[in-house]
Amino acid sequence: MANRPTTSTLVKHIVWAFNHATLEERAEGVEWYFEAHRIAADLAERHGISLKKASLVISALSPATDWEKNVVDAGNFIEDTNAVVSTYGNNKRIAARALAGEIEELNGKKTRAFAKLIENPYSNEVVIDRHAISVALGHKSDDAERRYYGSTGYAIMVAAYHAAAKKLNLKASELQAIVWVSYRNR
């Protein structure tokens, strides 16, 4: 990863991905975080926990897990913290701490933003995951690119999504969700 693309190049790739999303993908993306919020609210109500705890658990269990499996895992985990889940062991421990009320915010940049958007879909957060990075780079990201943009370069990606969203008159989270849906469908 000798030459990193400029923010302008990242924005162009994001806008290109948006322009190639179908109308159905755009509609699904705009509603995505509102639907995630409804799912978290339902889990919270069914299990007698706060929306914040449900959002934190869903987000903590999300790394390396498909969304549909993530939702099932979160429900099972809230019922029984010994439940088998699809994510990493450390994330399971973090989810247990969140459920116990020991933590109010997740440490990971991606999972922190994800939890905040699930809890409040009107938030100004944007989730930078491997799909968001690949879209902005214009190609499937490699491990080195994901490590860089998942940590040191995270703010660069956030800024690129906000800039692209402004050009398209969207919220950055809506744009990220739209291109995520489109990328997932390819």
In degrees to the nearest 10, what's the CA dihedral of 108, 87, 161, 30? -130
- Average model confidence (pLDDT) across the chain: 96
Question: What is the predicted pLDDT for the residue at 98?
Answer: 97
Comparing CA positions, the residue from 186, 136, 176, 132 lying closest to residue 36 is 176
pLDDT digits (tens, 9 = 90+) for 121-135: 999 999 999 999 999
Question: What is the predicted pLDDT for the residue at 1?
Answer: 52
CB 65 within 8 A of CB 58: no
CB 17 within 8 A of CB 182: yes
The residue type found at 130 is R
pLDDT digits (tens, 9 = 90+) for 44-56: 999 999 999 999 9
Domain extents for the chain? 7-185
Q: How confident is the model at residue 3 (pLDDT cuts 50, 70, 90)?
A: confident
- What is the token pair recorded at 110? 């991606």
Average pLDDT over residues 63-80: 96
CB 17 within 8 A of CB 140: no
pLDDT digits (tens, 9 = 90+) for 137-156: 999 999 999 999 999 999 99
Residues 27 and 29: their CA atoms lie apart, in Å, by 5
pLDDT digits (tens, 9 = 90+) for 152-176: 999 999 999 999 999 999 999 999 9
The helix/strand/coil state of 22 is coil
CB 92 within 8 A of CB 137: no
Q: Report how far apart, in Å, the C-alpha atoms of 33 and of each of 77, 94, 99, 101, 116 are.
A: 21, 22, 21, 23, 10
